[in-house]
Amino acid sequence: MPMPTPTPTADSADRGRSGAESRGRIGVFVCHCGLNIASTIDVEQVTKALRDYPGVAFAADYKYMCSDPGQMLIQLSITEHNLDGVVVAACSPAMHESTFRKAAAAAGLNPYQVEIANIREQISWPHQDAPEEATRKAIETVRTLVEKVRYDEPLTAFTLPVVKRALVVGGGLAGLTAALNIAEAGYPVILVERSDRLGGRMRELSRLYVNFDDSGDLLAERVTAVRHQPLIQVLTDAEVTGFDGYVGNFKVEISGSRSQVSSPPNLKPETLKPETFSFEIGTVVLATGFDLYDPGNLPEYGGGRYPDVVDSLKFEAMLKEGTIRRPSDGRVPGEVVWVQCAGSRAPNLHRPYCSKICCMYVAKQASAYRRAVPEGQAYVFYIDIRSQGRGYDEFVQRAMEEFGVVYLRGKASRIIERDARLEVWGADTLSGKSVRLEADLVVLALAAVPSAGSEALARLMRVAIDESGFYAEAHPKLHPVESLTAGIYLAGAAQFPKDIPETSAQAAGAAAKVLQLFAQREMVAEPTVAVVDERLCVGCGLCVPACPYEARALHSWKKLATVNPGLCQGCGACAVACRNKATTVRNLTTGQVLAMMEAVLPMSSEQWNNEQ
C-alpha cells in the first residue's frame, strides 16, 4: 500500500513565534448571521475592538458573511489591503470553513492562512442572557485567532491515490442497493454477507405497508440484478476479519465463501469451501442491518418463557406461510394482542429511543391478521402512534376503521399465562381505566438494536458508535451518510432503525458519496497533520499507542517516529505524548498556542473598561 509523505520544511516543528515570520496585515471579518449572533453579541463593538488590535490591517462586519456578497467582501479586502491572513468570526468551522478558505484562495491568499472564530455556537447561543459578557468573550476569542493566523504556514494540500473498488458489508436491502448503484456506474464492488443468503431482514417479511405488496417479489428483483451484474463479487458466509489503511487505500481481509447468487425464490448460494480473501479497496459502505431486542430482558412479558408470546418477525413468518397458528397447540388464534414499544422508549430499564418502524408494521400485521381471520379480534397497546410518511397515517386509520383493529392508548404492564391462554394487563389512558385482555396470541413489537458483531466491526474499522451501539454519522444534518472515519459510509438500519423507503434512499446516498470519491483521479488530503522533527525525535515510541487513528509507527531502521498523513486526523494526541516536543501539528504549534493564550490573559477588567 503506498505511503504518502508530506513535504514539511526542515524547521516545521519549530514553527510558531520562534521560527515563522509574523504576519502584520490580517483581516478580520465579523458575521451577524442574521440575528443568530447579532441578537446577543455587539458585532460593531467587536469589529471596532479588533480594528485597533496590533497586526490587524482591516476589520469589517456583514450580515451574512457566507453569502456571495460576504465572500466578495473578503476577496476584495484581501486584494485592496494586501492581507496576508484572514480571521472570520462566524459560525462553527464545520459549517463554512471550506467556504471561506475557497473564497480566500480565489483572491490569491493561501487557504490555510484563514482561521474561523466560532462566536455563534460557542458564544452567542449559550450566553444569550449575558450580552455584555458574550461581547467581551467574542473579542477575546477573535484576538486568539488573530495570534494563531499570524504564525500559520502557507500549506499545500497533498494528494493520495484512490483504489476504485468498493466494499459493501451487509447483503440486505441497503447493501444490495448501494452495491448496485456503484456497480452500475462502472466500478467493481465486493459484497460481503455473513449469512448463507442475500436479502437481510426484508427476506423475512410477508407483505409491505402501505399497499401490501409482496416483499419477496421486490427483493427477488433486486437480488437478480445483483446476480447479473458482472462488477459485483458476492461473498456469503463471510465476515471482515482484517482491516487497515486510509481513505482511498484500505486493505481488507475477508474470511468466508466465494459465491454468486442463485436464482430466487430461495436466494441461497451454493455451499463452497471457506476461504480467506484479501482486497485493496477505496471505500466501505456499512449496511449491517439490525436485530431485535432480546425478549429475555422483558420478564414482565414472560421473558421468552411463553410459547404464545412471539416477536414481530415470528408473526411475519406465520403471515408468509399463509396460516396463523399458535405455536403451543397449532390452533388459529381468535384474539391477538400487539404490544408496541416492547423494550423501546424505556430509558431507565431498556432502550431509550423510538425504534421508528414498529407503529407501521404493527398496523400492517393487525390488518393482515383480520384479513386472514375475519372473525378474529386484534388489539394494539400503544404509547402514541408515529406514522411519518406519505400515506402512513391514512394506513393506520384504515387498520382501525376498515379492519376493526382496536387501539388502546397505554402501556401493557405485564403478561401472564392462565388456563392455556394469555392475560394482558395494561391501562387505557384515554378512559383512565385499567385493562385486562384475554388473548390467544401476543406479538411483541421489540426494539430494533444493532446487529450482532457490529460493535466488533466498528472497532476493527475505527468507526464511532453512538450510546446505543449504532454506527455514528459524522454530522446528523450536514453529513448523514458519512461516518467519522473518512471513506467509510453508512446505509440503512446499521446507522439507526429505518423503514424500506428510507433505507433505499440512504443506501443511494452512500453510493453517491462513493462515486463522488471515485470520480477523482487523486484524492486531496488536508495538510494540517502531525510532523516529526528528526533532530529532536529519539524513537521512544510513546506516540505510537497514543494515536487513536493508528497513524504513527517507528521507522524500520532509524530511531525515528513516522506519520502516515493519510490516516492522521490532526488531533494532537501524539504531540501531547512526545516528551521531547519533537512532534507538532502543522498550524497548531506550541508557539501558536502560547500566543493565543497571551492574547487573552492580559485583558484585565481595567483594560476592558478602557476600551468601552
Q: CA 470, CA 492: separation in Å to the nearest integer?
A: 11
**Which one has a higher pLDDT value, 8 or 439?**
439
pLDDT band at 16 (very low <50, low <70, confident <90, very high): very low
Same fold, 1-21+526-587 and 292-449: no
Asked if residue 264 has pLDDT above 90, the reply is: no
> Which pLDDT score, from 0 to 100, does residue 158 have?
87
Measured CA to CA in angstroms, residue 234 lies from 75, 226, 251, 271, 276 at distances of 51, 9, 17, 13, 14
Residue 112: closest CA among 569, 584, 528: 528
| Residues 245-260 pLDDT 10s | 889 999 999 997 655 4
Asked if residue 406 has pLDDT above 90, the reply is: yes
pLDDT band at 207 (very low <50, low <70, confident <90, very high): confident
pLDDT band at 608 (very low <50, low <70, confident <90, very high): low
> Which pLDDT score, from 0 to 100, does residue 184 have?
97
> Which pLDDT score, from 0 to 100, does residue 160 have?
86
Asked if residue 18 has pLDDT above 90, the reply is: no
Taking the domain 1-21+526-587, which CATH number applies?
3.30.70.20
> Which pLDDT score, from 0 to 100, does residue 11 have?
41
**Which one has a higher pLDDT value, 72 or 260?**
72
Question: Grid coordinates 478580520 are at which residue?
Answer: 28
Residue 115: closest CA among 80, 141, 136: 141
Q: How confident is the model over 352-357, as a mean pLDDT? A: 95
pLDDT band at 314 (very low <50, low <70, confident <90, very high): very high
Asked if residue 587 has pLDDT above 70, the reply is: yes
Query: Which cell numbers hold the place of 122?
Result: 460557542
Asked if residue 306 has pLDDT above 80, the reply is: yes
> Which pLDDT score, from 0 to 100, does residue 600 have?
86
3-class secondary structure per residue, 432-475: CEEEEEEECEEEEEECEEECCCHHHHHHHHCCCECCCCCECEEE
* Contact assessment for residue 417 and residue 430, using Cβ atoms and an 8 Å cutoff: no
| Residues 360-394 pLDDT 10s | 999 999 999 999 999 999 999 999 999 988 999 99
Asked if residue 458 has pLDDT above 90, the reply is: yes
One of 3.40.50, 1.50.10, 3.90.25, 3.30.70 is the CATH number of 23-150, namely: 3.40.50
Mean pLDDT of the chain: 90
Q: How confident is the model over 190-202, as a mean pLDDT? A: 94
> Which pLDDT score, from 0 to 100, does residue 267 have?
38
| Residues 475-532 pLDDT 10s | 888 899 999 888 999 999 999 999 999 999 999 999 999 999 999 988 888 899 999 9
> Domain segments of the chain: what residues?
1-21+526-587, 23-150, 166-289+451-518, 292-449
| Residues 109-164 pLDDT 10s | 999 999 999 999 999 999 999 999 999 999 999 999 999 999 999 999 988 889 99
| Residues 76-117 pLDDT 10s | 999 999 999 999 999 999 899 999 999 999 999 999 999 999
CA dihedral 222, 226, 228, 231 (to 10 degrees): 150
> Which pLDDT score, from 0 to 100, does residue 425 have?
96
* CATH 3.40.50.720 is the classification of domain 292-449: no
> Which pLDDT score, from 0 to 100, does residue 213 have?
81
> Which pLDDT score, from 0 to 100, does residue 263 have?
36
Ranking 24-28, 286-290, 403-407, 602-606 by mean pLDDT, the lowest is 602-606
CATH superfamily label, 166-289+451-518: FAD/NAD(P)-binding domain (3.50.50.60)
| Residues 418-451 pLDDT 10s | 988 999 999 989 988 899 999 999 999 999 999 9
| Residues 19-66 pLDDT 10s | 456 667 999 999 999 999 999 999 999 999 999 999 999 999 999 999
3-class secondary structure per residue, 182-225: HHHCCCCEEEECCCCCCCHHHHHCCEECCCCEEHHHHHHHHHHH
> Which pLDDT score, from 0 to 100, does residue 2 have?
43
Angle of helix 131-150 relative to helix 43-51, nearest 10 degrees, comes to 40
Query: Which cell numbers hold the place of 399?
Result: 387498520
Rounded to the nearest angstrom, the gap between the alpha carbon of residue 494 and the centroid of all alpha carbons in its chain is: 10
Asked if residue 568 has pLDDT above 50, the reply is: yes
